[in-house]
Amino acid sequence: MPRADAIRRIGFLGTGIMGAPMARNLARAGFSVTAWNRDRSKAERLAADGVVIASTPASAAADQDAVVVMLSSGPVCDEVMFGAGGAVAAMRSGSLLIVMSSIPVETAKAQAQLANRSGISYLDAPVSGGEVGATAATLSIMVGGSVEHVQSAAPIFAAMGKPVHIGPVGTGELTKLVNQLTVASTIVAVAEALLLARQGGADIARVREALMAGFAGSRILDLHGQRMIEGTFAPGGPAKYQVKDTAAARSTATELGLDLPMLNLADALFGDLVAHGGGELDHSAIILELSRRNGLSPEEYAPLTN
Amino acid sequence: MPRADAIRRIGFLGTGIMGAPMARNLARAGFSVTAWNRDRSKAERLAADGVVIASTPASAAADQDAVVVMLSSGPVCDEVMFGAGGAVAAMRSGSLLIVMSSIPVETAKAQAQLANRSGISYLDAPVSGGEVGATAATLSIMVGGSVEHVQSAAPIFAAMGKPVHIGPVGTGELTKLVNQLTVASTIVAVAEALLLARQGGADIARVREALMAGFAGSRILDLHGQRMIEGTFAPGGPAKYQVKDTAAARSTATELGLDLPMLNLADALFGDLVAHGGGELDHSAIILELSRRNGLSPEEYAPLTN
């Protein structure tokens, strides 16, 4: 394991909407970054910031102190990291593998076992904060792994946002799921609140203002409540991804022997929104699904301002 | 209607846990306050701040520029305001009646009609912020009524907290209900999130810290999440009152032709908590009900720290 001050060279796999600004921030913080992306053109935009572009995952991962992974899903991570010509076989023993994608808890644990067999340390470190947070280096980073490895990775995380070490491998991904289930349920709660207020004749912009000052105040009420008031449902976070998250959280809950009724309800409601054509809308559009269920016509609910 | 700068004399009905500090703050702000309370001893503690103590609701309300009501429920308000020897019959025509109790929307509208018949103006202005907010004069005040009357009452509200004018009579009470339903659903969401995280092996204090930094951040996660982590369920807001609030919100939703599934679920879950003996616990104890439903013994969930 490299010490914190010994990590200079980083391989970066996956430079999409989130990965590109994260890799750029690492380069700007002084790390020597070599990036690979399946669509090479997306990686090449980073060359202006001194990022070296690699042709294969293996060449990006070879001879690095650490490899950061920001690919789109668990199966894609598995393929790029452990498939034929994959990155992990090219990594040095004693180096550090940091998976920042949102993937299932069990997938993270299995990846850690495979990496450890090659003498490679593993952290799961998914993020919250979106493209804005990735660009501004203000991501909330939820980290699972050993204390020693988290300390080694501290300068890497500091270049991208604020890490919180949650517990052993897998608990970073668990926390991301827990974050998503909290967001999903809170968005439904805010949507029901504003719908009730509006149907009762209140000015919902003022309702939001009054609620923000008390116990009902939340980031969701602030940001997504404003979207509901304005009727602006361009994503943001598309509803179809919200369903993926609630399904993953249900699956993890089931594995742990837990039945969580509000999670189940949020999952069903977002599923209905997608089934009725709202999959590409921002998840705050759940207020449209609640309106539809209650027989309100689109003219009655969009926009929701009085 | 008195102009704002013309309101000097205030009658105050109901000096309980909330009403006493509110009346005290009005007196300290320079208003001439005459208070009545059914249990006179509770009102007499205010004499040190220059509050005059009245023996009947009518004598507290007579010859005032405005009367503020902070009694415990809609029926109690109706009795004290409109019953035999009630306050409203003693009020001057042209004066202002401000009901700050949390009462049903329809009750507020009916009270306004009755008051208006005697030439008395009416505002519904329930509050959020609890005893702490009442004492510190930082209450969130949700006001329903005409613009003119809200402007007249501005100095009164300023002595107790921050008013937001929502819309016509009844929308103050509607907003309070909407606040309570948002709180109820969000507490359940946070409880499910922390339970899933804990059963998955995460340090839930760190989960809360990580979630507070992102879209899942809320006053509920901050304050009630901390209670769940520490297992400190002394109220605060007792679960039995939460059920009263969710039932009232359901009733108003039904009157408006709305079926709100998450409100229904929160109402059922808090009802279960009360049915299983948790009525006197803080509403954050909903995590105990969720634990019980999932077959976790008290030893496994209290305290919830790892």
Question: Can you tell me the ipTM of this complex?
Answer: 0.91
Domain B174-301 has CATH 1.10.3720.10: no
A214 vs B128: CB contact, 8 Å cut-off?
A: yes
Confidence bin at B5 (pLDDT 50/70/90): low
Confidence bin at B73 (pLDDT 50/70/90): confident
Residue numbers of B annotated as active site: 176
pLDDT recorded at residue B4 = 58
pLDDT recorded at residue B16 = 94
- What percentage of chain B has pLDDT greater than the value 90? 89
A256 vs B215: CB contact, 8 Å cut-off?
A: no
Residue A290 forms contact with B (CB below 8 Å): yes
- What percentage of chain A has pLDDT greater than the value 90? 89
Q: How near does any CA of chain B get to the CA of A51, in Å?
A: 29
Surface of A (142-201) touching B: CB under 8 A:
142, 162, 164-168, 170-171, 174-175, 177-179, 181-183, 185-186, 188-190, 192-197, 199-201
Say whether pLDDT at B1 is over 70: no
- Return the CATH class of domain B4-167: alpha beta
pLDDT recorded at residue B214 = 87
Domain ranges of chain B: 4-167, 174-301
pTM recorded for the entire structure: 0.90
Task: Give me chain A's average pLDDT, please.
Answer: 93
In a mutagenesis test of the A interface, which of B174, B181, B186 is the best target, namely the one with the most A β-carbons within 10 Å?
B186
pLDDT recorded at residue B235 = 84
Catalytic: which of A42, A109, A162, A176? A176
Residue B164: strand, helix, or coil: strand
pLDDT recorded at residue B51 = 98
Say whether pLDDT at A5 is over 80: no
Q: What is the pLDDT of residues A22-73, one digit of tens each?
A: 999 999 999 999 999 999 999 999 999 999 999 999 999 999 999 999 998 8
A210 vs B175: CB contact, 8 Å cut-off?
A: yes
Q: What is the pLDDT of residues A183-226, one digit of tens each?
A: 999 999 999 999 999 999 999 999 999 999 889 999 999 999 99
Of B167, B209, B290, the CB nearest to A201: B167
Confidence bin at A305 (pLDDT 50/70/90): very low
Q: How near does any CA of chain A get to the CA of B88, in Å?
A: 27
